[in-house]
Structures are given as structure tokens and as C-alpha cells.
Amino acid sequence: MNITFIFFLGLFFAMIGVVPPGLLNMTAAKISLKEGYVRGIVFSAGVCVIVLIQTYLASIFARYLSKHPEVIGVLRGVALVIFILVTIYFLFVAKSGGKQQIEPKIRSKHSRFFQGMLLSSINVFPIPYQAYMTITLSAFGWMTFEKTSIMAYVIGAGTGTFVTLYMYIFFFDKIKSKSFTSQKNMNRIIGGVTGVISIVTLINIIRDF
């Protein structure tokens, strides 16, 4: 298996997962605007360290699941319920407004690095997302669960995350006034993404039933 191809798969799907406006990319952009792009990059580096670990754990978990198809069936059902509930929440329940979060004043570069690690640790979405993606890619024969294949995908995912955060840092001035960055539209984007995933998961369950 071509590890370069697997690397770019990891990069691409990590970018897809981080592109919608969220806590990590918006925080990186705000830090860059308030304290300079260097601290924004340091924050992003801290985020990517955790993403590397999360993606590796997701790949190991996916390798286990690939050997136990009966577990995959149960998890698909659980995932479907979760994705449907998340979709309903963001499309119909979540408020468009809300109190602005007060961000603590952290000035040192090292503090921003560890802040990136902390916020990335709280965001556990990459683990089920990457586990699902690696299982899917393996099913298509685009990657294997060999050590070199997993490492190529993990490094690609970390690189893709950093590239996306980097783009937010340097182009936030151009997009911050656009309507899609509002909380209401962010909720719609997240709800739309989880809605699509719910439909795909449901189709897979029905097809395998």
C-alpha cells in the first residue's frame, strides 16, 4: 500500500473534520488576532499533538473492530442514535445566541501550547470520527491496519489539522464578517453534517440487515 496516498487520505479527512467553524479553529483565529499569529500557531501545535494521539487510538480501535464485525453492528446502532440526537439538537434545540465565553488571559507561548492540548483533549469527536473513517477506508481497500499504514494516516491527520488551523489563523480577517460564522449558521452546519452521517449510517445498517 502506498503510504504517500494513505498520508493524503489522513490529511484530507482531517481537514474535512476541522473545516466547519468550531471551538478549536475559532480559538486559534481569535488568539492570532489578539496576540499575533505566532501564538496562534503555538496553540495549533498543541492541538495537533493531541490529534495525533487521538487518531492513533482511533486506528487501533478500528483495527480491533475490523476483527469483530459483530461489535461493529452494535456500535453502528448506537452511533445512529447519537448522530440523530445531535442532529436534532443543533437543528432544532440549540440557541442561535448565548453569552459570550470569557477567555482567560494567557500570555506565554507555552501556556498557549498547553491550552491547545487541553481544548483538543476535551474535544473527543476525532476518535469516533477517525475510527469510522479508517474502517471505511479499509473496507474500500485504500488502507490497511499495518503499522506503517496507520502511522502514515496518523501523521496525515495531524498535518491536515494543522493546515486547516493555519488557514483559519491567516484568513480569519477575511471571513469573520461572513454570515456562516454566526452561531446560528454554525449550528446548521454541524447539524447538517451529522444529519448526512446519520443517513449514511442508516443505509449501511439496512444494507447489512
- Mean pLDDT is highest, among 18-32, 49-63, 70-84, 165-179, for 49-63
CA 113 – CA 31 distance, rounded (Å): 11
For residue 56, what are the contacts with CB-CB under 8 A and spacing of at least 6? 150, 154
Rounded average pLDDT over 91-112: 57
Return d(Cα 10, Cα 55) in angstroms, integer. 9
In the predicted model, is pLDDT for residue 95 greater than 70?
no
The size of the chain, in residues, is 209
Is the predicted pLDDT of residue 101 greater than 50, yes or no? Answer: no
Residue 94 has pLDDT above 90, yes or no: no
pLDDT tens figures, 4-58: 999 999 999 898 878 766 778 888 888 888 888 888 899 999 999 999 999 999 9
What was the pLDDT predicted at 6? 92
pLDDT at site 131: 85
Contact 150, 11 (CB under 8 A): no
Phi, psi of 166 (to 5 degrees): -60, -45
Task: Tell me how far CA of residue 36 lies from CA of 43, 54, 95, 187, in angstroms.
Answer: 11, 28, 31, 28
pLDDT, tens digit (0-9, with 9 covering 90-100), for 103-157? 445 455 668 899 999 989 988 778 888 888 888 788 788 888 889 999 999 999 9
Q: In angstroms, rounded to a whole number, what is the distance separating the alpha carbons of residues 42 and 51?
A: 14
First to last CA, the chain: 31
Identify the pLDDT of residue 98: 45
Of the two residues 195 and 176, the one the predictor is more confident about is 195
CA distance 123 to 28: 14
Contact between 18 and 24 (Cβ < 8 Å): yes
- Better-predicted residue by pLDDT, 201 or 50: 50
